[in-house]
Amino acid sequence: MTSAPHAQEGDEGLRAELRLLATMLVVFSAIKVTASSLAYVSALVAAGGVDSDSSRTLFWIPQILFYTLLLASSRRLRHFEPRSRTAVLSLSVLSLAATILYTMLSFTIGPGHKDPALEIAIKLRLLLVGGDIWDLVFTLLGILWLRTPPAGRLFESE
């Protein structure tokens, strides 16, 4: 009978970790939605209020939608809704894959193709000074914490 309280204590510790992760993801995605929305509006204002070639819309709207989905899924994760784990995991993997693909394309057909040293310097600057490191940190935390078997069991039992 002593194993039952230990199992519940372990579940409560895991629940606390996952609530912390969900809270961090909610704050992160809310900041990203706000920042992406402001950047989109700023880009439109800079273009005179018109996006005739749709380049600004095609660049910013998917980011706004992505982080809105992450925000909604992270809020559900705090309440341990079963589908929220899958949604946050999927969005985290998608974000990581998009980052890797974008970096690879930058070095194969983009500006990094002609001057890789400059592109590395730009990428490091964006990571360390521009705050892009948080995209990787929260993505990796989501993947690492939610893929564990105890996390999977916790969401299956809800």
The residue among 15 and 158 whose pLDDT is bigger is 15
pLDDT value, residue 34: 96
Distance, CA of 101 to CA of 18 (rounded, Å)? 28
Residue-number span of the structural domain to which 31 is assigned: 3-157
Query: What does the pLDDT look like over 19-40, one tens digit per residue?
Result: 999 999 999 999 999 999 999 9
Number of domains forming the structure of the chain: 1
Average pLDDT, the chain: 89
pLDDT value, residue 158: 62
70 neighbors 93 (Cβ within 8 angstroms) = no
**Cα–chain center distance at 44:** 25
Distance, CA of 47 to CA of 61 (rounded, Å)? 16
pLDDT value, residue 47: 87
At residue 49, the 3 state secondary structure works out as coil
Helix (H) or strand (E) holding 47: none
Virtual CA dihedral for 86, 89, 92, 98, nearest 10 degrees? -70
43 neighbors 60 (Cβ within 8 angstroms) = yes
How large is the average pLDDT for residues 122-148?
A: 91
What's the pLDDT band for 8 if we cut at 50, 70, 90? low
The residue among 115 and 1 whose pLDDT is bigger is 115
Q: What percent of the chain has pLDDT over 90?
A: 67
At residue 1, the 3 state secondary structure works out as coil
Q: Please give the model's pTM, rounded to 2 decimal places.
A: 0.85
Judged on CB neighbours under 10 Å (0-12, 13-18, 19+), 74 is: buried
How large is the average pLDDT for residues 84-102?
A: 95
The answer, yes or no, to whether residue 6 has pLDDT greater than 60, is: no
The residue among 4 and 71 whose pLDDT is bigger is 71
